[in-house]
């Protein structure tokens, strides 16, 4: 078995002939084609994964995204017995097929895994750890487009009426009127909010700031909530008990789920408020470019997904022109 010591000897013998970049490429070729100790390969993969996660953190990826990257790629690395430079397209396809069968997951989940693997191997290629990404030839896994649910006006009123605290009422109004992400909501500080102008500064993905706007009802409930506060925490939303620490994403999610169960409403979660706001805006005629700006989407294709959510505008047009 040929190990790292042999490869290092070859590189040392060629250092007067090749430049630094060529030596690096030679090392990758030797590593990919010679038998290396499995433990060394596993350690190298773990090191490359750490470097990848560090790079993505510097690019501004959220903590949630980084954890998703780490868990997905760690699972993949543990399930393959090849060093990363030896991975080919067929091996990746086999892994995705096996994962779908053994975990009984849908096409959307499989495509998310494919996308993460493609991002990882593209980074390895860009950083010259591999010559070419084996994920390039793997196409997007097509999943059926399903009509996603939104919250009706009636159910939104039921949610408001079901709130037992001014904090929860303010959270629902802010989510429904701004369409912000729950991760953006929990980062808000008191000084992020301009009640007079009914707007706030939101820190979105990649630490990009944008303005979000809320309605008069949200303003009134925010004022009531802030007047009820007896702490000096700069966070806009804090826990109701204990030291009144900044509220966490999981706390908002569990609070909304519990409220939905109490009212017997299906699948109430933070993103549903975002989807509802975007759908209503598009169905009422707001230009999609402006909706994109409000939601903080980089690509308009992401915003256009919301145009497929509801058929109410299609039905109204049919009655107007054909009914």
Which of 95, 99, 129, 306 is catalytic? The answer is 306
Residue 194 Cα distances to 5, 140, 321, angstroms: 63, 43, 43
> What region does 147 belong to: left with phi over 0, alpha with psi -120 to 50, or beta?
beta
Strands (E) located in the chain = 193-194, 199-203, 209-213
Of residues 208, 271, 315, 318, which has the active-site annotation? Answer: 271
Q: Look up 315 and say whether it is catalytic.
A: no
> Reduced to 3 states, what is the DSSP secondary structure of residue 80?
coil
The catalytically annotated residue of 93, 160, 205, 257 is 205
Report CA 113 to chain centroid distance, whole Å. Answer: 13
Six-digit token pair at 3?
Answer: 């190990």
Q: Which two tokens stand for residue 179?
A: 């369409």
List % helix, strand, coil for the chain (3-state, nearest 5).
Answer: 65, 5, 30
Active-site residue, selected from the candidate residues 114, 187, 274, 275: 274
Q: Cα-atom radius of gyration of the chain, to the nearest Å?
A: 25
Judge residue 5's burial from the number of C-beta atoms within 10 Å of its C-beta, 0-12 exposed, 13-18 middle, 19 or more buried.
exposed
Active site (annotated) includes residue 244: no
Other beta carbons less than 10 A from residue 166's beta carbon: 17
219 included as an active-site residue: no
Catalytic-residue membership of 115: no
Among residues 181, 187, 221, 255, the one annotated as catalytic is 181
Q: Would residue 297 show up in a list of annotated catalytic residues for this protein?
A: yes
Contact status, residue 135 vs residue 117, Cβ threshold 8 Å: yes
274 is catalytic: yes
Residue numbers annotated as active site? 181, 205, 271, 274, 297, 306
């Amino acid at each position: 078995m040929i190990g790292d010591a042999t490869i290092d000897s070859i590189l040392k013998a060629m250092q007067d002939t090749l430049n630094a970049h060529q030596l690096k490429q030679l090392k990758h070729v030797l590593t990919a084609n010679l038998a290396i100790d499995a433990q060394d390969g596993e350690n190298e993969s773990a090191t490359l994964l750490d470097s990848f996660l560090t790079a993505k953190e510097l690019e501004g990826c959220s903590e949630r995204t980084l954890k998703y990257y780490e868990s997905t790629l760690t699972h993949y690395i543990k399930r393959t017995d090849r060093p990363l430079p030896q991975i080919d397209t067929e091996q990746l396809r086999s892994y995705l097929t096996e994962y779908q069968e053994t975990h009984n997951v849908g096409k959307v989940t499989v495509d998310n895994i494919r996308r993460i693997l493609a991002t990882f191997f593209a980074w390895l290629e860009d950083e010259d750890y591999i010559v070419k990404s084996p994920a390039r030839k793997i196409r997007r896994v097509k999943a059926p487009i399903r009509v996603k649910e939104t919250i009706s006006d009636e159910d939104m009123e039921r949610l408001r009426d079901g709130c037992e605290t001014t904090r929860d009422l303010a959270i629902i109004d802010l989510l429904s009127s701004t369409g912000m992400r729950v991760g953006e909501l929990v980062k808000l500080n008191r000084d992020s909010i301009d009640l007079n102008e009914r707007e706030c500064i939101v820190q979105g993905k990649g630490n990009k700031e944008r303005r979000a706007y809320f309605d008069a009802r949200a303003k009134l409930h925010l004022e009531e909530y802030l007047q009820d506060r007896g702490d000096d925490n700069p966070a806009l939303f804090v826990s109701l008990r204990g030291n009144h620490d900044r509220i966490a994403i999981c706390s908002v999610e569990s609070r909304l789920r519990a409220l939905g169960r109490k009212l017997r409403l299906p699948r109430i979660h933070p993103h549903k408020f975002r989807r509802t706001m975007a759908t209503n805006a598009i169905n009422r005629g707001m230009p999609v470019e402006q909706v994109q700006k409000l939601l903080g989407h980089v690509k308009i294709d992401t915003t256009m997904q919301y145009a497929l959510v509801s058929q109410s505008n299609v039905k109204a047009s049919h009655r107007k022109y054909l009914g």
